[in-house]
């Protein structure tokens, strides 16, 4: 604000100085003219008196006598007196020898006097080498102009008085300028201070502080401007609050969306992005606003689609596969954004991660294919043997019994398959309800082992249990957990060779219990482990079918354990056996 005050102060100074200078020059001129007019008037009166004293015969008098008379009169009135003839020659002069003086006919005051009027003139006297004022009146005799009487006076006194007046004027002007400057400072501050206050308030408003209110007790334009600033501050605060609220709401919506959202301006720079997209496309930083989209998005297919959307300015849709760092599928939709439905602002891109949907579709397709295949095999066998029996094999009792045993085996296989499929279906659709009771898992495991004693004996295998002392009871569905341990134990027996060992170990901690079912069987390679719990997935398809498996046992285990709020995993190495680990919460809701 120093700039405004400085400019205002310098303006005042310039006006005051110029005004004072004009006044000083004008006063000097007026005073000079006044003094000269006064001197001229005095000289004119004196000239009339001198003319009267010389009389009508002044020209005809003896030159010497006239010279002496003029000299005496000049000394008395302290004024130079010059008598000039009609021809312009000087007849007498109170201060110089007339003979040495040049012709005065061309002098301005003499010309006017000889023409019959009073002549006045101010000029430098060559004779005396000083500034003089001359006043000449016509000298008449019987009504005829016979010459002129001229009186002159030095202007030294006028110059002295003028210099004195100059000093007075200069002092007065300086005092006036000083007073005016002091007054201008006061006036300037009274004008600038409200502006400084408004400037301070405006700076606070620019920083988001709307608490400052301006209160001017005057009713001038500055007070009105201050009131307008107050109103603007209130309105701006409301608008900013609304914008912040809308921004927070938008941010909350975008942050809560599972879909990725990207807004790109017409300039191809990113205007907005939500966290979901950063995770979906593996951005290194979420701070990408203002960057060109191709600098951030490394997928050429996505960039090409965005470019097309900006060009056509229409809604587009496309499925994109991203292979790295892992394969997932994205459905990308774009819509144009317009200013007033005319000028393009940019586009909004919405990214839907449909990987899970694609995987489910794939699993569904595989399930249908596997289910069809699994059902077709026993049905084909049953159909074939029934047809054989119809063709006459039924008459052969030994063959007929063998065929019927095979048909019965395949029917049991169909029954097991359908039962497992129903169990899977119910668990996935949440129709499978758990009947929880207080359950001793050690007892459940012992009961399941008892069901497989005969199988174990045939293969000369050894089953051991190792439960931590005071193993706790839990709330669980006894029938469903029996199915879990039955499936796992059945697999352990099938894939463990003769004389192999199977160990079931129970441990618990403050919040959970853990059961490990370990065997010394053929094991599982790490390539198969990620998919081991999928439906119909078999490590060795032929061997699994040969042993009567449906391919759904481990999938059922996973679903039942998850329904109890637990997890199941496997650790295995080929030819070294496998360990299936079940972890359940120690306290579960009934």
Kindly state the DSSP code that residue 292 receives in the 8-state scheme.
Answer: B
Q: Choose between 234 and 58: higher pLDDT.
A: 234
Alpha carbon 409 to chain centroid distance?
Answer: 75
> Would the pLDDT of 589 be above 60?
no
Specify the range with the lowest mean pLDDT, choosing from 458-472, 493-507, 540-554. 540-554
We find that the CATH architecture of domain 358-427 is: Orthogonal Bundle (1.10)
The sheet carrying 144-154 orders its strands as 90-93, 80-85, 144-154, 130-141, 119-125
Rounded CA gap, 201 and 210, in Å?
8
> Would the pLDDT of 139 be above 90?
no
* Confidence (pLDDT) at 517: 92
526 SS3 class: coil
Average pLDDT value for residue range 199-222: 71
Mind spelling out the 3-state secondary structure of 234-249? Answer: HHHHHHHHHHHHHHHH
> Would the pLDDT of 12 be above 80?
no
Q: Which residues contact 254 (CB under 8 A, 6 or more apart)?
A: 261, 272, 274, 275, 276
- pLDDT confidence tier of residue 542, bands split at 50, 70 and 90: very low
The fold of the 257-353 domain, in CATH, is Beta-Lactamase (3.30.450)
Torsional sign, CA 28, 29, 34, 40: positive
Average pLDDT value for residue range 305-326: 86
Separation in Å, CA 486 to CA 339, 348, 464, 489: 67, 54, 15, 5
* Confidence (pLDDT) at 418: 67
* Confidence (pLDDT) at 540: 60
The token pair that represents 52 in the structure block: 């009267």
Percentage of the chain beyond pLDDT 70 is 83
The token pair that represents 227 in the structure block: 């009131």
Its pTM stands at: 0.44
* pLDDT digit string, tens, across residues 162-193: 777 778 877 877 887 788 778 777 776 776 67
For 433-585, CATH number out of 3.40.640.10, 3.30.565.10, 3.20.20.140, 3.30.1300.10 equals: 3.30.565.10
Task: Quote the mean pLDDT of the chain.
Answer: 79
Average pLDDT value for residue range 288-315: 87
In the chain, what are the domain boundaries? 2-161, 257-353, 358-427, 433-585
> Would the pLDDT of 451 be above 90?
no
Q: Do domains 257-353 and 433-585 have the same CATH topology?
A: no
Respond yes or no on whether the N-terminal peptide bond of residue 36 is cis (omega within 30° of 0).
no
Q: What is the CATH number of domain 2-161?
A: 3.30.450.20
């Amino acid at each position: 604000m120093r700039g405004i005050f400085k400019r205002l102060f310098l303006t005042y100074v310039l006006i005051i100085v110029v005004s004072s200078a004009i006044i000083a020059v004008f006063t000097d001129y007026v005073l000079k003219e006044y003094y000269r007019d006064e001197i001229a008037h005095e000289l004119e009166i004196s000239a009339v008196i001198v003319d009267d004293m010389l009389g009508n015969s002044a020209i005809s008098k003896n030159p010497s006598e006239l010279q002496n008379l003029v000299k005496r009169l000049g000394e008395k009135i302290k004024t130079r007196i010059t008598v000039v003839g009609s021809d312009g020659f000087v007849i007498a002069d109170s201060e110089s020898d007339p003979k040495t003086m040049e012709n005065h006919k061309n002098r301005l005051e003499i010309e006017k006097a000889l023409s019959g009027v009073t002549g006045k003139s101010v000029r430098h006297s060559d004779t005396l080498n000083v500034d003089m004022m001359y006043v000449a009146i016509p000298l008449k005799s019987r009504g005829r102009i016979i010459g002129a009487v001229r009186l002159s006076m030095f202007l030294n006194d006028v110059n002295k008085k003028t210099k004195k007046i100059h000093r007075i004027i200069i002092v007065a002007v300086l005092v006036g300028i000083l007073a005016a400057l002091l007054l201008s400072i006061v006036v300037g501050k009274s004008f600038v201070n409200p502006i400084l206050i408004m400037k301070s308030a405006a700076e606070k408003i620019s920083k988001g502080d709307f608490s400052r209110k301006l209160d001017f007790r005057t009713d001038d334009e500055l007070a009105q401007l201050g009131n307008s600033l107050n109103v603007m501050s209130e309105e701006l605060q409301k608008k900013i609050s609304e914008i912040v609220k809308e921004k927070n709401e938008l941010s909350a919506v975008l942050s809560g969306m599972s879909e990725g959202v990207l807004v790109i301006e017409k300039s191809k720079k990113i205007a907005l992005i939500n966290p979901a997209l950063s995770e979906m496309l593996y951005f290194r930083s979420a701070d990408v606003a203002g960057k060109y989209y191709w600098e951030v998005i490394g997928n050429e297919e996505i960039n090409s689609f965005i470019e097309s959307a900006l060009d056509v300015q229409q809604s587009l849709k496309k499925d994109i596969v991203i292979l790295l760092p892992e394969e997932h599928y994205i459905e990308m939709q774009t819509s144009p954004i317009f200013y007033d439905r005319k000028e393009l602002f940019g586009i909004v891109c919405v990214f839907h991660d449909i990987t899970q949907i694609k995987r489910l579709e794939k699993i569904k397709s595989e399930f249908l294919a596997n289910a069809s295949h699994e059902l077709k095999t026993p049905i084909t066998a049953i159909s074939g043997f029934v047809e054989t029996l119809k063709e006459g094999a039924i008459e052969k009792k030994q063959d007929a019994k063998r065929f019927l045993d095979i048909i019965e085996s395949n029917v049991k296989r169909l029954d097991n398959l359908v039962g497992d499929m129903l169990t899977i279906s119910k668990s996935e659709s949440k129709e499978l309800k758990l009947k929880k009771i207080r359950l001793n898992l050690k007892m459940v495991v012992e009961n399941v082992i008892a069901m497989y004693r005969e199988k174990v004996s045939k293969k000369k295998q050894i089953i051991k249990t190792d439960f931590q002392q005071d193993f706790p009871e839990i709330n669980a569905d006894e029938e469903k957990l029996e199915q879990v341990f039955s499936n796992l134990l059945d697999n352990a027996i099938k894939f463990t060779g003769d004389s192999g060992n199977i160990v079931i170990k129970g441990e618990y901690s403050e919040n959970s219990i853990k059961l490990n079912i370990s065997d010394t069987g053929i094991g599982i390679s790490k390539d198969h482990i990620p998919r081991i719990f999928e439906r119909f997935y078999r490590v060795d398809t032929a061997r699994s079918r040969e042993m009567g498996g449906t391919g759904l046992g481990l999938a059922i285990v996973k679903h039942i354990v998850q329904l109890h709020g637990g997890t199941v995993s496997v650790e295995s190495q080929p030819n070294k056996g496998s360990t299936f680990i079940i972890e359940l919460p120690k306290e579960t809701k009934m």
